[in-house]
Every structure is written in structure tokens, then in C-alpha cells.
Amino acid sequence: MTPETNFKLTYATMFNPPEELHTRFDEALAALKPNLGKEHGMIIDSKEHFTTEKFEDRSPTDTNLLLGVFQKGTTADANLAMDAAARAFPMWSRTPWQERVCLLRKAADIMDQRTFEMGAVVSLEVGKNRMEAIGDVAETADLIRYSCDRMEANNGFIVELGNDPLVGFTSRNTSVLRPYGVWLVISPFNFPAALTGGPAGAALVTGNTLVMKPATDTPWTVRLIAECFRDAGIPAGVFNYVSGPGSTVGQALIDHPQVAGITFTGSYDVGMKIGRDFSSGKWTRPAILELGGKNPVIVSRHANLDDAATGIVRSAFGLQGQKCSALSRIFIERPVYDTLLAKVVDLTSKLVVGDPTARTSNMGPVVNKAAYRDYQAFCSELNTAGKILTGGKVITDGSYANGYFCTPTVVSGVPADHRLWQEEMFLPITMAAPFDTLEEAMARANNVLYGLTAGFYGSEQEVEWFFDKIEAGVTYANRPQGATTGAWPGFQPFGGWKGSGSSGKNAGGHYYLPLYMHEQIHTIVKRG
């Protein structure tokens, strides 16, 4: 429970929001409006840092709305941030882990106090509906707390080992996990708070120092995360916030010789290149890569079709299909294909697309002009390859004229070998196909580069089969709350197999923190 509210925010709250949540969000949004369009610096070594070149952050809901002006970082700024983080590492890594936990819990508490303000920024900046926007921020604080809890539960990852028998000597052996050095966090636009703050919290609590760079579409949200670290009293240089294009300042950070490790969340192509860069230096450096998805659901004829339809629509169109866990492939057993698809189309056509900050909107705009153009190109391609059952159009009239609004789109009849069964579209478009045997459905479900999330609806016996055969890191069965989406720290640690992730361990999970440290064995021998 946040100190400021009388309820605990989780993904589940999003379905039954208390009235207070709406009131608080509306107040925060109103308070924010007079502050739009201001300039924001980078934060390097705890100091405001400005560059000659700037870039504008505009809302995808209305491109006339200037949210803020941000610094367009260069290699020189990347170097400054890296140097500050490198200087702070000896001190921070030797700060007792209990003190680090204390400071990070304080940062999480500050995020709680600012949840609604930050949620309003996320909604304006990304185009997330208010529930999802608040959720992104609440999840960030929970991810940071989870890292603190794991540090504590594992006693700072110091483990006494067996003492090897030596005649005439006594030995004492200890395993210690120690931080790597300067850790880079490069995050995507779609969960700018959680996917920056979560890994940042893990890197910091384990004793690494931090440089973080947000997506060009979401510099403001990440600036606010940095402010929470600063206001918690995390020392200068320990965390640094750099903004600017991935291809320039991002690449300069990656190429910097001081970088000890990275958590990159984003697309497959950029992530795989980073992975190669990190393994081709003088030694291999850790690269935690959280990449794309092409997430399937399989629905058997034994499924509860209403639950399936609800879960499918939520996961296909939440955040306009721009979640790495979004449901993009629906496989339905033939006898229930028409009935289920009719339910899906019916629910989809009832979704309200509009201003994401408005209480009534289910879906906001897609994130930028490139995504908007992609949507139109994919729809035109799919209209030829198959049949668009609902959606397929952009909305441009009245208040929609200056935003990137797309209708949620369900497509059927696309041949199995079409490229769009393979490629992540990252848009409110989902494709359905019938199957005759569960084995055939599983073969198709697994026949992609990715293995992030997956869903199933059917009998209990079939569920066991599904968990056994599916190649994915986060899997759900018979879940109306979301077929493939809606993970929450502590409940569903998040990560992918195959092309969806590099570490094989999920973020916010049991095995996550050790990824940020290397092991050192201490053996001390005494005569006698």
C-alpha cells in the first residue's frame, strides 16, 4: 500500500480501480498541465547538464502538445556520464549493502508519493491509458523493492562454504557476489518507468554504478526516475541520466571502455548487435538482453470461450498492442473457431480509442509517426493476404486529427507462410487461424524466433501438456485477465527464451540479482 493511498496498486487493481485512483489521477494531470513544454537537463554526477542541441518531446495524442524540451546528448556527454559513474564505483561498491538497500527503498517510496504525477506523464508521453500508466510507475517501485528484499533474503549474497580439510592448517571458504562496475541501462518507450527503474534498481542495490538512457520517445518519464534516485540521497555519480538518440549517444555509451555490463530492453536487431559487441571485446561482458515477442495463444475446444475472448482482447490491444508480451497470434481449435472469433471481434469493436488520459478510453494512440505509418502499411498488406474482421483503419476526424490513433484490428485467413506470422509488428493488430490438432497448434506456436510469453485456454489436463511443450519464459493458462500480458513483480517474473532474451532468468525473479554480480571465492588459511 502506498503511503498516499488506501489501496495497493497491482495489475489487478487496473480492473477494479477504486474511485480514489481516478480522482488522484485527474488532480495530478491538472497540476501537470501548466508545466508542459519546459526544458529538462540530463543529470550527470547529480548536476543538471545541458547541451547545445535539444530535441522536443511531443505527445502522440496531439502532436501540437509540446511536453518538454530535452538534451540531445553526444559522445562527449556519454563520456562525462561514464566517467562520473566510474569515479563513484569504488565508494558505492564498498558501501554496506544494507545502506544501499535503505537508499533504494527510499527511492521507491518517493516514486509512490509521485505515482499519479509520473503516471500522468507516462500517459501523455507514451499514450498509455491512465490505468496502464499508473501501473507502469507502481510496478517500478515494486521492482526496486523486490531487489532490496532479495538482497536482504540472501544476506547480501555472502555464503559460507565448506572448509577443505588440510593437515596442520584450518581453512575458511566464503563465496561473495560482487558488483561488476559501471552498468548501462538502455530502455524502450513502452514501459519507460518499469524497464528503466527496475534494472536500475537491481544494478544499484548490488553495488554497480549506473548510466541510464531512455528511448527518444520517453525522456521525461526517465528523467523523473532519476529525480527519485537523486531525492532519495543516492550519492553523486552513482546514477546518471543521459538523453539523446540511441544511434549516437546510445552507441557511444555501449562503445565506452568503462562499461562493465548492460541491461538492454528493446528490439531484437538492436539487442543482438549489443550482445555481439559485448562478447567481442577483450573479454565477454554481461549483457542482459530483454527483446521482442511474437506471442501466441492456443485455445482448445474445451476452453471457456468467454474467458478466452476477454483474455485475448486484453492482451492483443492493451497499450495498443505495443507490449513485448502483446498477443499477436491466436490459434483456435476448429470446432470453436467461428464462435470464439465472433466473440473476439465483438469485444474488440467495443473498445474505446481516444485520449488516453480520459477515464473512458481503453486505447490511446500508437507511439509515433513511424508506428502510425507501419500500422497502415501492415493493414493494407493483411487486407490483401487475408481478411480484416474489424479495425484496419486510422482515425483522423475531430479531436483525433493530430494524434496517431489506430483502430484495434483482428485479421483471419492469412496463409501460414506469410511473413507477418513471424515478425513482431508491435501494433494493435492480431491474427487468428484455426487448427485441427493440438500438436499442430503447438508446432506453429513455437515456430518463431521469439519465446517471450504464451497463453492457453482448455482443460486442466491440456494445461499440463501446454506448460511442458511451449517454448516461452512467461506462460498463462485459463486467464481472462490477459492471455499473454499482465506480469507483476513477485507474481510473474518476466523474461524470454530464444530470441526474446539472453539470460534465461526472469526480471524481478528469484535468480535475477546474481546476474548483476560476479562471484569471488575467499579462502583464508591459518596454521594449526
- Annotated catalytic residue 102: no
Nearer to ligand NAP, 177 or 262 (CB): 262
Restricting to residues 203-242, which ones interact with Mg ion according to CB under 5 A? 217
Residue 117 binds to Mg ion (criterion: CB under 5 A) = no
Nearer to ligand NAP, 105 or 213 (CB): 213
- Annotated catalytic residue 290: yes
Site for ligand NAP (CB under 6 A): which residue of 41, 156, 235, 245? 245
C-alpha 524 chain-centroid distance: 43
Site for ligand NAP (CB under 6 A): which residue of 23, 35, 98, 247? 247
Residue 428 binds to ligand NAP (criterion: CB under 6 A) = no
Residue 316 binds to ligand NAP (criterion: CB under 6 A) = no
Nearer to ligand NAP, 116 or 239 (CB): 239
Query: Which residues neighbour 25 within 8 Å (Cβ) at sequence distance 6 or greater?
Result: 116, 119, 120, 130, 134, 357
**Residue 190, contacted partner among ligand NAP, Mg ion, none, CB below 5-8 A by kind:** ligand NAP
Cell numbers that stand for 331 in this block: 490459434
Closest CA to 218 of 361, 376, 55: 55
Nearer to ligand NAP, 291 or 517 (CB): 291
Restricting to residues 71-130, which ones interact with ligand NAP according to CB under 6 A? none
Which range binds Mg ion by CB under 5 A, 57-65, 226-234, 343-351, 412-420?
A: 57-65
What is the C-alpha separation between 405 and 8, in angstroms, rounded?
A: 31
- For the chain, helix, strand, coil in percent to 5 are 40, 25, 35
Sheet of 327-333, strands arranged across: 387-390, 409-412, 429-435, 327-333, 295-299, 453-457, 474-477
Alpha-carbon separation of residue 479 from 249, 297, 396, 486, 491 (angstroms): 41, 11, 35, 10, 14
Q: Which residue in the shown chain puts its C-beta closest to ligand NAP?
A: 246
Residue 372 binds to Mg ion (criterion: CB under 5 A) = no
Q: How far is the CB of 329 from Mg ion (least distance, A)?
A: 29
Residue 324 binds to ligand NAP (criterion: CB under 6 A) = yes
Which range binds ligand NAP by CB under 6 A, 15-23, 183-191, 223-231, 440-448?
A: 183-191
Q: Is 329 helix (H, G, I), strand (E, B) or coil?
A: strand
Which range binds ligand NAP by CB under 6 A, 140-148, 228-236, 294-302, 492-500?
A: 492-500
Cell numbers that stand for 117 in this block: 504525477
Query: Which residues neighbour 148 within 8 Å (Cβ) at sequence distance 6 or greater?
Result: 101, 104, 105, 108, 201, 205
Cell numbers that stand for 523 in this block: 579462502
Nearer to Mg ion, 311 or 364 (CB): 364
Catalytic positions? 290, 324
